[in-house]
Chains A and B, each alone.
Chain A
């Protein structure tokens, strides 16, 4: 292979990455040190770390961080067990019914905007189908309008969209376990629960951690569903760091402070990813 030619094939892409990634990220960092409001183009000036100091004393930021952490913990806490349960069933007892796997697929590719619209209609407090089903249990509730349930309601849409993703990922993990492993477990008299905890779970640790890594990254980005279903409300009940950054930039047009928040978002993402990757490496070493 001619090395020079290979480099030539790479150069257009490197230039493209400068345009679509390095330049905007450079601007983001630059703005984060400025007093920059869209409504006041003449007032742009360097203010050092002031925007960053403001983050630390900003109650709305800490609220949005708290909402984000709840979203991460509750969302992942619901979808991972469901996906594991379904993965166990579809790779074990219902293994031969391959077509079932495709039936779980649509939610994962439905555009997030459409998912938001669909659930906003279904959550409608008086004539929504969800309250209709729940009325048989004597429940009627304004899911999105109540600040105690709004976040949970939005999280459930994330669960609906991403259980299929985790399921397919876990199924790939399950299918790589040789059948003999289960046969010898059976000879040893292990029941289904023991087999799952002692054999399946440790052997799909790789898929599990990969799923967690991507769910963390993607939940930090959640935007369309929140924007369409609650716009961060009621009050600030569903305002994640991502959504707060949006509001600061495009409702309050404070580009300087929004950029500092954007940098914070990048740092949070990188920190959480590094923690996850460390677990990931450890798991691989131990295997």
Chain B
């Protein structure tokens, strides 16, 4: 095991120190806001800050009882889940077709889908706003769900296409010989084979929809407002409502962090999907 002595593999104290410093930097802000959400009004404004305190759930209770936070959480859930659902229903067959069709235009179509990933949402938000104003779709679930397809659909297509490319063709040809139609091959053979990737793609695009802020802020008012947009309404009272803001932040971030760790392997392929192909 000579190579263990190699510079690159041999551990030094400095390596540990650097890793610990950056892990602290990554996690401390989350820890700090978590403690703020569990402090009472007085404790959260003590200076110097208190490190030891009696945790209370008051902020969380107040959020759910007084602030109709639940309504906005439900809006977020409905919009994000439905847009992912539609993204899957449209995207999975499309990804399959893009993987199997061997014709010239396909490369272009894939390139356009990649471009949609690159276009700044602001450039779409301006026309969406006027179009939705005209057709009375501002502040509706439907409007937001449609808009969210701009990122859920390309994401799902690129991830699933990469996985469909890996499915052995011989298997599908057997199924065809047994009398399966193209739809049946897709539904009964190929899609089940990549079910894990499908779940990952769904979770990833759900994270994007759940975290989305710009479209939700511009295209909703009250009845379809999502939880991230709701947080900004606390900001006016910044100096008074730290605990509430912190609690709301924790509730919004919690499921994303859990799911994020769950799909860690797919996170980067999700964020960069498509770019490597030419």
Chain A residues near B (Cβ < 8 Å)? 1-3, 5-7, 9-10, 12-14, 16-17, 19-21, 23-25, 27-28, 31, 38, 82, 85-86, 89-90, 92-95, 100, 102-115, 117-122, 126-127, 129, 132, 160, 163-165, 168-169, 172, 179, 182-183, 186, 190-192, 195, 206, 210, 213-214, 217, 220-221, 223-224, 227-228, 242, 245-246, 249-250, 255, 258-259, 262-263, 265-266, 269-270, 273, 281
Across the interface, do B6 and A183 meet the contact criterion of CB distance under 8 Å? yes
Chain B residues near A (Cβ < 8 Å)? 2-3, 5-12, 15-16, 18-19, 22-23, 25-27, 29-30, 32-33, 36, 45, 47-49, 90-91, 93-94, 96-98, 100-101, 109, 112-113, 115-131, 146-147, 149-150, 153, 157, 172, 176, 181-183, 185-186, 207, 210-211, 213-214, 217-218, 228-229, 231-232, 235, 238, 242, 245-246, 249, 252-253, 256-257, 259-261, 264, 267-268, 271-272, 275-276, 278
Across the interface, do A102 and B264 meet the contact criterion of CB distance under 8 Å? yes
Decide yes or no: A127 and B118 within 8 Å by CB, A109-B207, A109-B256, A111-B253 being known contacts.
no
Q: Is the interface of A mostly helix, strand, loop or mixed?
A: helix
Q: Closest Cβ of chain B: how far from A125's Cβ, in Å?
A: 11
Enumerate chain B residues within 8 angstroms of A113, measured Cβ to Cβ: 211, 213, 228-229, 231-232, 252
Across the interface, do B211 and A121 meet the contact criterion of CB distance under 8 Å? no
CA of A172 to CA of B186, assembled, Å = 31
Across the interface, do A273 and B124 meet the contact criterion of CB distance under 8 Å? no
Across the interface, do A195 and B100 meet the contact criterion of CB distance under 8 Å? no
Across the interface, do B30 and A7 meet the contact criterion of CB distance under 8 Å? no
Selected contact of B19 from candidates A86, A245, A269, CB within 8 Å = A86
CA of A242 to CA of B125, assembled, Å = 11
Enumerate chain A residues within 8 angstroms of B18, measured Cβ to Cβ: 85-86, 89
Q: Closest Cβ of chain B: how far from A5's Cβ, in Å?
A: 4
CA of A122 to CA of B249, assembled, Å = 14
Across the interface, do B7 and A89 meet the contact criterion of CB distance under 8 Å? no
Across the interface, do A269 and B252 meet the contact criterion of CB distance under 8 Å? no
CA of A14 to CA of B30, assembled, Å = 41
Q: Is the interface of B mostly helix, strand, loop or mixed?
A: helix
Enumerate chain B residues within 8 angstroms of A164, measured Cβ to Cβ: 26
Decide yes or no: A24 and B228 within 8 Å by CB, A12-B94, A82-B22, A109-B256 being known contacts.
no
Q: Closest Cβ of chain B: how far from A210's Cβ, in Å?
A: 6
- In order of increasing CB-CB distance, the 9 nearest A-B pairs are A109-B260, A27-B127, A9-B93, A13-B94, A5-B182, A262-B123, A111-B211, A192-B7, A24-B127
Given A6-B100, A23-B127, A108-B267, 4 more A-B residue pairs with CB atoms under 8 Å apart are A5-B182, A21-B116, A109-B256, A255-B126
Closest to B259 in A: A109
Enumerate chain A residues within 8 angstroms of B119, measured Cβ to Cβ: 21, 25, 266, 269
Closest to A206 in B: B276
Selected contact of B94 from candidates A9, A259, A265, CB within 8 Å = A9
CA of A129 to CA of B44, assembled, Å = 11
Across the interface, do B214 and A223 meet the contact criterion of CB distance under 8 Å? yes
Selected contact of A17 from candidates B7, B47, B153, B261, CB within 8 Å = B153
8 residue pairs A–B, Cβ–Cβ below 8 Å: A10-B94, A12-B94, A24-B124, A25-B119, A90-B19, A104-B23, A106-B27, A121-B238
Enumerate chain B residues within 8 angstroms of A106, measured Cβ to Cβ: 26-27, 30, 257, 260-261
